Chains A and B, each alone.
Chain A
Amino acid sequence: MPQVVIPRVLSAVTSGRRVFDVGGETVGDAVDTLIGQYPQLRVHLFDEQGRWRPHVRCFNATGRVDTRMADPAGDRLTILQAVSGG
């Protein structure tokens, strides 16, 4: 069962929680499970087209996976606020 870690600033909409145990084998399943628990997160992670927001990244132990949603989630997914522009 993977864990998902979200950026500290997003804990404003998850009652202060940043680390979640979620179900799902793939990256997509794990993120969907998290959003199922906290539907408020969807608008913060994805745009109106269903794409990851351009300055949000998701990593597992092997590297960046927001572009590989069918990959295995692994033990831990970390969603990051990209260092964008200084």
Chain B
Amino acid sequence: MTVTLAIGTSKGAFFLRSDDRHNWTLAEPAFPGWKVTAFNRTPSGEYLLATASNWFGAALHRSTDLNEWEQVVTGPGWPEGSVRPLTQIWTLASIGQRTYAGVDEAGLFVSDDDGETWHSVEALNEHATRSSWEPGLGGLCAHHVVADPGNPKRMWVGISAVGVFRTDDGGRSWQPRNSGVTGPIDESAGTGWCVHGLTLDPEHPERLWRQEHTGVYRSADAGDSWERIETGLPASFGFPMVRDHRSGRLFIAPLRSDEFRLPVGGRLRIFRSDNQGDTWMESGAGLPDQTYTTVLRGAMVADQLNPGGVYFGTTGGAVYGSADNGHAWDRLPGTFPRIMSLQVFAD
């Protein structure tokens, strides 16, 4: 089996390939000079890659081989005449036969033809709370889409700095689901929560976890309520929230507070939980000290193989991987521009 680690950076896409998850080969970059903000594989196996640019806007590209790419003419985004700009495609997620794109300026778009054409999820994009949506430091962005694999009509979307919304009817209606999460001083608008990372247990999809601006939380009731879970953590701020589904192990990358946003004490560390988030511990060995780079929300991924592999990229351009579910970490080859997105494909 060949594992391809797709690395999206502020200046291009890079691909590391390995047959054993220990020895990696770096391929030629794609889209040099472009921000590469998300990757995905559609239900039929086509690859998607999202680009953005401070000069030339955002776009979506398709490929059958991660080598030759063709830009989608009318990708996910706001229609001609809209006052909302498309600045970045933050996430791509295939759920059943559909593929979703979460974007900035915040919106959710869906494709039923492998990414060739897209339409707006109007009930979310024109939600009754829309006028109260405000951006976070990273923008006003829809950055996570997760779904109940047994019930594709139930989905959750994370939007910053708005919160988590859930649909139970396939996207026809959406409800904010942030109760119990420390958020805005005035919660009356129903928005203002700054979710950073979001994942669920596909076997028990009523269980969700979120890395929030204000801390680490879980829900046992599909997001109806949340509780803080930070025992053992050196800090509760951070961005990614990743789960190895086979073992149930959770991974996060704590940072020293929203004021500083640095690894605590200069120790770049991943923390894991083996008990649904009851407690956390430092995850394995091999990560560096005296390191002051961070892990962005889209820059950590689990490969869902057996044993689980976990990978993360830093704002300093380093990629680390663990082929044994977070026990031993290796620095993978290459030093890249700021890493914005990471995805893994196994064939």
By a beta-carbon cutoff of 8 Å, the part of chain A in contact with chain B is 7, 9-10, 12-13, 39-40, 43-45, 47-50, 53, 55-56, 81-82, 84
Contacts and interface: CB of A to CB of B under 8 A. Distances in A.
A68 B82 CA distance: 23
B81 interface: yes
B170 interface: no
Interface of B is mostly: loop
Contact of B55 (A12, A48, A49, A53): A53
B59 A43 contact: yes
A82 B58 CA distance: 17
Interface string B66-85: 00010111010111111111
Contacts, number: 59
A48 B72 CA distance: 16
Given A43-B57, A47-B85, A84-B54, A9 B34 contact: yes
Contact of B77 (A43, A44, A45, A55): A43
B56 A53 contact: yes
Given A12-B69, A43-B59, 4 more contacts: A39-B73, A43-B57, A43-B86, A81-B55
Contact of A48 (B32, B33, B34, B83): B83
Nearest to B31: A12
A14 to B, nearest CB: 9
A12 B57 contact: no
B18 interface: no
A45 B73 CA distance: 13
B59 A40 contact: yes
B56 A44 contact: yes
Contact of A44 (B32, B57, B69, B79): B57
Interface of A is mostly: mixed
B85 to A, nearest CB: 6
A53 to B, nearest CB: 6
Nearest to A55: B55
Contact of A50 (B61, B71, B77, B80): B80
A76 B56 CA distance: 21
B214 interface: no
A43 B69 CA distance: 17
A84 B55 contact: yes
B84 A10 contact: no
A49 B83 contact: yes
B57 A9 contact: no
Interface in B236-286: none
24 contacts: A9-B32, A9-B33, A9-B53, A12-B34, A12-B69, A13-B59, A13-B71, A39-B73, A43-B57, A44-B53, A44-B56, A44-B57, A47-B57, A48-B83, A48-B85, A49-B81, A49-B83, A53-B56, A53-B57, A55-B54, A56-B55, A56-B56, A81-B56, A84-B54
